[in-house]
Amino acid sequence: MNAAELLDRLVGFATVSRDSNLDLITFVEGYLDEHGVDHWRVESDDGKKANLLARIGPNVAGGVVLSGHTDVVPVDGQPWSSDPFTLTDKGDGRLYGRGTCDMKGFIACALAEVPRWADLPLDTPIWLALSYDEEVGCIGAPRMIETLLADHPRPAAVIVGEPTMMHPVVAHKGATNLRTTVTGRASHSSQVNQGVSAIHVAARLVTRIEDVMAELRAEGRIDEAFNVVHSSLHVGKIQGGTAINIMARECSFEWEIRHLPSDRFEELLGRVNATAAELEAEMKQRAPEAGIVTEALNTTVPALADDNNAEVLALCRELLDERPASAVAYATEAGQFQREGLPTVICGPGSIGQAHQPDEYLDIEQLEAGAQFMAALGERLRRK
């Protein structure tokens, strides 16, 4: 099968993060078996999802890992003009479907080249590393990386195939999702001296979260490689209260910190927590039962730093006609590979502007560019 045919099969698996990806994994395993490729599942705790590792070529150290996530975001409430889980060619040079660019297109390009890689006398291996639950906090990849490094010879480099229009990306921000819950004391709204409004306190803390960004800019904590040049803090969801005439006992909000590689998540969270401690002390003077609790909703996804990547970057640029490297604001599994000492860059077909959108698409020319990259990679790693 060519890349388009494989993409058609992959899109047909509705691997939304809330659901299992095992049907897709089973399909890929069968495809790899047809070509005599060794592979290993790395399952989730409940066994409902799995990562998949596969090695094409010799069982030696070195070589390149091609990493992609198998899960996709939901389509609920989005105005799709075609079935999101059927690959659709409308004759406009684009292939439509959920996950086409993010990031089943990259996986299809790699799988399409497997038969030729399997026949090449490769000097070092090409690894496939397919993960689950990237879209909900990069949950699956760490145990896959752990298994790769514990049970197999160490690879030399990693290419994470997020959509970059086939331009190498050498840095991205880290990301942490958080929930803060403010507990006050309810009272009749005419008796404001008796209660403590959780909503009012939460509002002060939300404002503080935005103020932290202004502080970072004023301190010169910026990196011009990013289109948003500072670490960003953003509140995306808030809820609380029961009625307009009741001082709210509880208010919670969900927010995120996306930190530059040069910043520390813990330090940025500490600025917000310091204000929360001050507000909590004020609340407790009037209501001892009051409090503010912040919890992480995911393990921090580490940033990818432009560091220790000269060889893999040179390889990508060699295969891509010296395209310039860049940085992106979104988070990926690349930082998790780099954290374990593996030189890592991001490079894949498609535009991040299409990711998560209704009528998500991948330009056919981008799919072809991804396929050409895979073919060139195999030639580059074959024995001379």
pLDDT, one tens digit per residue, over 333-378 is: 999 999 999 999 999 999 999 999 999 999 999 999 999 999 999 9
Helix axes 198-218, 265-286, angle to 10 degrees: 150
Q: Is 134 a catalytic residue?
A: yes
- Residue 304: the pLDDT is 97
Q: Which of 71, 280, 333, 360 is catalytic?
A: 71
Would you state the torsion angle of the CA atoms of residues 32, 34, 38, 44, taken in this order, to the nearest 10 degrees?
40
**Ramachandran angles phi, psi of 305, nearest 5°:** -100, 150
- Residue 323: the pLDDT is 77
Q: How would you class 232 by CB atoms within 10 Å of its CB: exposed for 0-12, middle for 13-18, buried for 19 or more?
A: buried
Does the pLDDT of residue 383 top 80, yes or no? no
Integer Cα distance of 23 and 291 in angstroms: 45
Which tokens belong to 173? Answer: 């921000």
Integer Cα distance of 342 and 312 in angstroms: 10
Amino acid, res. 209 = I
- Residue 384: the pLDDT is 61
* Chain centroid, CA 107 distance in Å: 15
CB 178 within 8 A of CB 254: yes
Region at 47 (left for phi over 0; alpha for psi -120 to 50; beta for the rest): left
Integer Cα distance of 143 and 168 in angstroms: 25
What percentage of the chain reaches a pLDDT higher than 70? Answer: 100
Cis omega before residue 103 (within 30°)?
Answer: yes
Q: What would the pLDDT profile of 210-260 be if each residue is shown by its tens digit?
A: 999 999 999 999 999 999 999 999 999 999 999 999 999 999 999 999 999
Give residue limits of the domains in the chain. 3-171+303-381, 174-296
Q: Is 340 a catalytic residue?
A: no
CB 197 within 8 A of CB 248: yes
Q: What would the pLDDT profile of 67-102 be if each residue is shown by its tens digit?
A: 999 999 999 999 999 999 999 999 999 999 999 999
Q: Across all residues in the chain, what is the average pLDDT?
A: 96
Q: What would the pLDDT profile of 257-312 be if each residue is shown by its tens digit?
A: 999 999 999 999 999 999 999 999 999 999 999 999 999 999 999 999 999 999 99
pTM metric for this prediction: 0.91
According to DSSP, residue 1 is labeled -
Q: Which CATH number fits domain 3-171+303-381: 3.40.630.10, 1.10.10.10, 3.90.1560.10, 3.30.499.10?
A: 3.40.630.10
Q: How would you class 221 by CB atoms within 10 Å of its CB: exposed for 0-12, middle for 13-18, buried for 19 or more?
A: middle
- The CATH number of 174-296 is 3.30.70.360
Ranges of H-type helices in the chain = 3-11, 22-34, 105-119, 141-151, 198-218, 265-286, 310-319, 334-339, 364-381
According to DSSP, residue 324 is labeled P
Q: Which of 133, 134, 162, 359 is catalytic?
A: 134
What is the pLDDT averaged over residues 161-189? 97
What is the SS3 assignment for 296-312?
ECCCCECCECCCCCHHH
Q: What would the pLDDT profile of 181-209 be if each residue is shown by its tens digit?
A: 999 999 999 999 999 999 999 999 999 99
**Ramachandran angles phi, psi of 309, nearest 5°:** -130, 15
pLDDT band at 58; cut points 50, 70, 90: very high
Which tokens belong to 266? Answer: 């813990």
